[in-house]
Structure 1
Amino acid sequence: MKSKSLVATVCLASLLLHGCTSKYVEPDQYSGFLKDYSKLKEDKSPSGAAVMRWIKPGIDVSQFSSVYVEPSQYYPKPQPTEKIPQQTLQGVTQYYDQALKTQFSKALPLATSPGPGVLVVRPAITGVSAKTKGLRPYEVIPIALVAAGISTATGIRDQDTSVATEAAFIDGRSNEVVAEVVRKGAGADLENSSQVMQAKDARAVLDGWARDMVNAFQALKK
């Protein structure tokens, strides 16, 4: 009887988790990386994903003749864990940098530094917490590569991974912020609670973000 009760409890919690979790990054999950969150509005990315973003009204993107992608960073800086080691953390930012450069180079030449006519892309991997009512999260770390909150010891489900980003787009001449975006996405499922997350588990999410950023920029040109 106790076993059936436990299974029922975990199943119910799983339904609540998926039903109540917002597709948008909530204000209490903002990292502080961006200077101003007050202008952000719920929107859809070019691929249809939920994002919080702001674009300067009337911005003329034709003024930008090249783009400089700053190295991505973690904000706040995380501590490696056995589940998410330093190699994974480094691999995620390295892949994010490459994905952004690959996609933006399709729209504009890559610049080596900020300056007049340069659009500066300033990205970060930021923190998102796992909120699960009635159950203690399996593992919570100060970045968004987190388990969903239900231990696989029950045998009910795999572990989900999640990653979030905040990015500012800056006029390289005036240093004025012309756009901001905050979003999150699901990484690859881990088979069990002991599996170590690898950078490749987040690649699909990072590629999608980079494509959406460039497609949004291209849409403004039209």
Structure 2
Amino acid sequence: MPYKSLLILLFSFIVSGCSSRLPTEDEQQSNLVVYRDKMTEVEYISDATGMQWVSPALEISQYSKLLIESVGLHQSATAVRQIPEPVLKRVSQRLTNVLKTELGQGVELVDRSGVDTATLKIMISRASTDMEDLQINEVLPYGVLIGGAKALLGTRDRNVRILVESQLVDSRTDEILAERVGVILAKGILENDKVELEYEQIRDTVDRFTQDIVHFIRLTAYQATLNETEQG
């Protein structure tokens, strides 16, 4: 194969290896959220980008309590060889517990629907791995060959991506109030394309991701307040 053609081939590995917190086109074929076509990119804090939508009709003053359902696990997320289902179940449990602790500090949490209660639904809907981004020293000519060869052999470190969909609804009517899609991204956490993910490898990343959902609730309340003010 000519050297130029080889570089083009390996460059495709560089592109395919780039990971971000934004959902990919495949990941946007979601299992929970409804208004994904109306979502806009929102970044609460550094490297916490996701897609979000808030109903323009939401009147936040109608809700003073929050019902948090246990984080669900869609079957689409459990078919990845390197990400065992027991690990995803622990991620689900951890998200549920930490969110109740975090959000319980600012709003009354309840265990049943009511006239002034919103329900937070969350689902882990997809899981995947992709190649770690090539480092700058690997983008130079000899490095490209080395990095590309590692990719072909399956020995390059791999990122873990877990898609999390969040939906805030009226607890009685199920009217959708707001939605968010974000990615738990653990970069370079798997040594190759054979080893399996262990829960402790991702626990800190999961804990940081809970702040995405906490900010989602707070920003939703803020945006709804602005809407109410604008509507008079």
Structure 1 Cα separation of the partners of residues 70 and 54 of structure 2: 22
In the alignment, is the contact (CA less than 8 A) between 1:31 and 1:76 conserved in 2? no
- CA contact 2:130–2:158 (8 Å) conserved in 1: yes
Q: From the superposition, tell whether residues 9 and 91 of structure 1 become closer, same or farther in structure 2 (CA, over 3 Å).
A: farther
Could you say what the CA RMSD is over the residues aligned between the two structures, in angstroms? 3.3
Q: Give, in angstroms, the shift of residue 126 of structure 1.
A: 1.6
Q: Helix, strand or coil: the match of 1:110? A: strand
The DSSP-based 3-state class of the residue aligned with 1:174 is coil
Describe the SS at the equivalent of 1:42.
Answer: strand
Q: Tell me which moved more, 115-124 or 34-43.
A: 34-43
The residue that corresponds to 1:54 in the other structure is 53
In 2 relative to 1, CA 152–195 (structure 1 residues): closer, same or farther, beyond 3 Å? farther
The whole-number CA distance in structure 1 between the counterparts of 2:72 and 2:175 is 20
1:202 lines up with 2:185 in the alignment: no
Contact 1:118–1:171 (8 Å) recurs in 2: yes
Q: Which amino acid aligns with 1:83?
A: Q
Which TM-score applies when normalising by structure 1? Answer: 0.74
* Residue segments in structure 2 that go unaligned for 5+ positions in a row: 133-147, 226-232
Matched residue, 1:35: 34
- Worse overlay, 105-114 or 7-16: 7-16
Q: After TM superposition, give the deviation of residue 73 of structure 1 in Å.
A: 1.4
Tell me, yes or no, if the aligned pair for 2:184 and 2:205 is still in contact at 8 Å. yes
CA distance in 1 between partners of 2:122 and 2:111 (Å): 16
Is the deviation greater in 43-52 or in 167-176? 43-52
Aligned to 1:190: 190
* CA spacing shift, 1:86–1:76, aligned 2, 3 Å: closer
Alignment of 1:1-222 (within 5 A): 12-18=11-17, 23-29=21-27, 30-47=29-46, 49-57=48-56, 59-79=58-78, 83-127=82-126, 144-148=127-131, 154=153, 157-188=156-187, 189-219=189-219, 220-221=221-222
Matches of 1:10 and 1:192, distance apart in 2: 20
Is the 8 Å Cα contact of residues 124 and 167 (structure 1) preserved in structure 2? yes
Q: Specify the code of the residue in structure 2 equivalent to 1:103.
A: E
1:197 and 1:212 mapped to 2: Cα distance?
A: 22
Structure 2 distance, partners of 1:78, 1:215, is 24
Greater fraction of residues in strand: 2
Displacement of 1:112 after TM fit? 0.8
Is the contact between residue 31 and residue 75 of structure 1 (CA under 8 Å) also seen in structure 2?
A: no
Greater share of helix: 2
Matched to 1:193, the amino acid is D
- C-alpha separation between the residues in 2 aligned to 1:79 and 1:163? 11
- Larger of the two Rg values belongs to structure: 2
> Residue 46 of structure 1 contacts residue 216 of structure 1 at CA under 8 Å; is this kept in 2?
no
Aligned partner letter, 1:209: F
Alignment TM-score, normalising by the size of structure 2: 0.71
CA contact (8 A) 1:117 1:173 kept: no
Please, which runs of 5 or more residues in structure 1 have no aligned partner? 128-143
Which is further off, 155-164 or 91-100? 155-164
User: Which residue in 1 is equivalent to 2:139?
Assistant: none
Which AA in structure 2 matches 1:218? R
